[in-house]
Structure 1
Amino acid sequence: MFQGRRRPWAAVSLFATATCLLAACSNAPPPPVVSEPPPDAPSTTTSAPPEQPMPVEVVVGVDELEGGFNPHALADMSPTSSALADLMLPSVFRPAEDGSLQLDTTLMESAEVVPGTDDFTVRYDIQRQASWSDGAPIAAEDFVYLWEQLRSQPGVAEPAGYRLIEDVASRRGGKTVEVTFERPYPGWRTLFDNLLPAHLLRDAPRGWSTVLDDGYPASGGPFAIRQVDLDRGEIVLERNDRFWGEPARSDRLVLRAVDNARQVEALRSGDSHMALFGADAATMRSLEELGDTVDLINMPRPVTMELLLRPDSRGMSDPGVRGAVTAALDRNRLVEAGTGGRPAGQLPAHAQVLSPSEEAYRPTEPPGAIPPAPDPQRVERLLTEAGYERSAGAWLRDGRPLNLVIAAPFEHESYIAIAETAAEQLRAQGIQATVVTPTGDQLFGDMLAADPRSTGTGGAGSVDMAVAPRPAGGDPASMLASAYGCPGVSPGGETPFPYNAAGFCDRLLQPTIEAGLSGEVPFDKVSDEVESVLWRDAVAVPLYQQAQVLAVRKEVEGVRPGNGFAGPFSTAAQWLGTHADDDGY
Structure 2
Amino acid sequence: MYRSRFRPFPAAALVLVFLSVLTGCTNAPPPPVVSSTTPRPSSEPPTEPPQPRVVVAGVEKLEGGFNPHALADQSQLTDALSELMLPSVFVPGPDGEQVLNTTLMKSAEVVPDTDRFTVRYRIRTDAGWSDGAPIAAEDFVYLWEQMRSQDGVVNPVGYRMISDVRSQQGGKTVLVTFDRPYPGWKSLFDHLLPAHLVKDAPGGWEDTLDDGYPASGGPFAIRQFDLDRGQIVLMRNERYWAEPAKSDRIVVRAADRQANLNALSSGNVQLGMFDPDAETMRALRGLGEDVRLITLPRPLVSTLFLRRSSPQLNDVRVRRAVLAALDRNALVSTGTGGGPDEERRAHAQVLAPSQPGYSATEPAGEFSDSPDPQRVRKLLREAGYEHTDGSWVRDGTPLNLVIAAQFEEDSYEAVANAAADQLAAQDIGATVITPEGDELYRTMLPTDPGRMDPPESAGIDLAVAPRPVSADPASTLAAQWGCPSVDPDTGSTATFGPTGFCDRMLQPTIEAVTTGRIPFARASGRVEPVVWSSALALPLYQETRVLAVRRELRGVEDGPGFATPFSTVGEWIGAPGESYDW
TM-score, structure 1 normalization: 0.90
Partner of 2:107: 110
Partner of 2:407: 410
Partner of 2:560: 563
User: What are the Cα deviations for residues 302-335 of structure 1, in whole angstroms up to 9, with x where unaligned?
Assistant: 1110000011112110000000000001111111
Which of 84, 89, 94 is 1:87 aligned to? Answer: 84
Partner of 2:57: 60
Q: CA deviation at 1:525?
A: 0.8
User: What are the Cα deviations for residues 362-395 of structure 1, in whole angstroms up to 9, with x where unaligned?
Assistant: 1000111211210110000000000000101111
Q: CA deviation at 1:147?
A: 0.5
Report whether the alignment pairs 1:157 with 2:154. Answer: yes
SS in 2 for 1:209: helix
Q: Is the 8 A contact 1:351 1:362 kept in 2?
A: yes
SS in 2 for 1:109: strand
Aligned length: 545
Q: Which moved more, 1:179-188 or 1:442-451?
A: 442-451
SS in 2 for 1:303: strand
User: What are the Cα deviations for residues 420-446 of structure 1, in whole angstroms up to 9, with x where unaligned?
Assistant: 111111111111111111100000011
Q: CA deviation at 1:470?
A: 1.1
Q: CA deviation at 1:292?
A: 1.5
Report whether the alignment pairs 1:197 with 2:194. Answer: yes
Structure whose CA Rg is larger: 2
Partner of 2:27: none
- How many Å separate the matches in 1 of 2:456 and 2:431? 13
Report whether the alignment pairs 1:322 with 2:319. Answer: yes
Q: CA deviation at 1:340?
A: 1.1
- How many Å separate the matches in 1 of 2:238 and 2:303? 42
Partner of 1:370: 367
Report whether the alignment pairs 1:98 with 2:95. Answer: yes
Partner of 2:120: 123
Report whether the alignment pairs 1:536 with 2:533. Answer: yes
The percentage of aligned residue pairs carrying the same residue is 59
Partner of 2:542: 545
Which of 419, 429, 436 is 1:432 aligned to? Answer: 429
Q: CA deviation at 1:463?
A: 1.4
Q: CA deviation at 1:226?
A: 1.4
SS in 1 for 2:302: strand
Q: Is the 8 A contact 2:350 2:473 kept in 1?
A: yes
Q: CA deviation at 1:257?
A: 2.4
Q: CA deviation at 1:287?
A: 2.2
Q: Is the 8 A contact 1:54 1:583 kept in 2?
A: no
Partner of 1:340: 337
Q: Which moved more, 1:496-505 or 1:356-365?
A: 496-505
- What is the one-letter code of the residue matched to 1:367? A
Q: Is the 8 A contact 2:59 2:274 kept in 1?
A: yes
- How many Å separate the matches in 2 of 1:418 and 1:66? 22
Q: Which moved more, 1:169-178 or 1:264-273?
A: 264-273
Q: Is the 8 A contact 1:155 1:501 kept in 2?
A: no
Task: Say if 1:44 and 1:188 are closer, same or farther in 2 by CA, change over 3 A.
Answer: same
Q: Is the 8 A contact 2:447 2:499 kept in 1?
A: no
Q: How does 1:183-582 map to 2 (within 5 A)?
A: 183-451=180-448, 453=451, 456-459=454-457, 462-582=459-579
SS in 1 for 2:338: coil
Q: Is the 8 A contact 2:66 2:212 kept in 1?
A: yes
SS in 2 for 1:208: helix
User: What are the Cα deviations for residues 193-235 of structure 1, in whole angstroms up to 9, with x where unaligned?
Assistant: 0000111111112121111111111111111111222333222
Q: CA deviation at 1:485?
A: 1.2
Q: Is the 8 A contact 1:59 1:255 kept in 2?
A: yes
SS in 1 for 2:456: coil
Gaps of 5+ in 1: 1-39
- How many Å separate the matches in 1 of 2:346 and 2:270? 33
Task: Say if 1:268 and 1:438 are closer, same or farther in 2 by CA, change over 3 A.
Answer: same
Gaps of 5+ in 2: 1-35
Report whether the alignment pairs 1:176 with 2:173. Answer: yes
Q: CA deviation at 1:472?
A: 2.2
Q: CA deviation at 1:522?
A: 0.8
Q: Is the 8 A contact 1:87 1:572 kept in 2?
A: yes
- What is the one-letter code of the residue matched to 1:76? D
- How many Å separate the matches in 2 of 1:375 and 1:551? 41
TM-score, structure 2 normalization: 0.91
- What is the one-letter code of the residue matched to 2:455? T
Q: Is the 8 A contact 1:108 1:127 kept in 2?
A: yes
Q: Is the 8 A contact 2:334 2:418 kept in 1?
A: yes
SS in 2 for 1:433: strand
User: What are the Cα deviations for residues 440-493 of structure 1, in whole angstroms up to 9, with x where unaligned?
Assistant: 000001111243535543327x21111111112321010111111111211122
Partner of 1:146: 143
Q: Is the 8 A contact 2:303 2:539 kept in 1?
A: yes
- How many Å separate the matches in 1 of 2:469 and 2:81? 18
Aligned-residue CA RMSD (Å): 1.8
SS in 2 for 1:245: coil
Q: CA deviation at 1:44?
A: 6.4
Task: Say if 1:420 and 1:485 are closer, same or farther in 2 by CA, change over 3 A.
Answer: same
Q: CA deviation at 1:264?
A: 2.2
SS in 2 for 1:301: strand
Q: CA deviation at 1:50?
A: 5.4
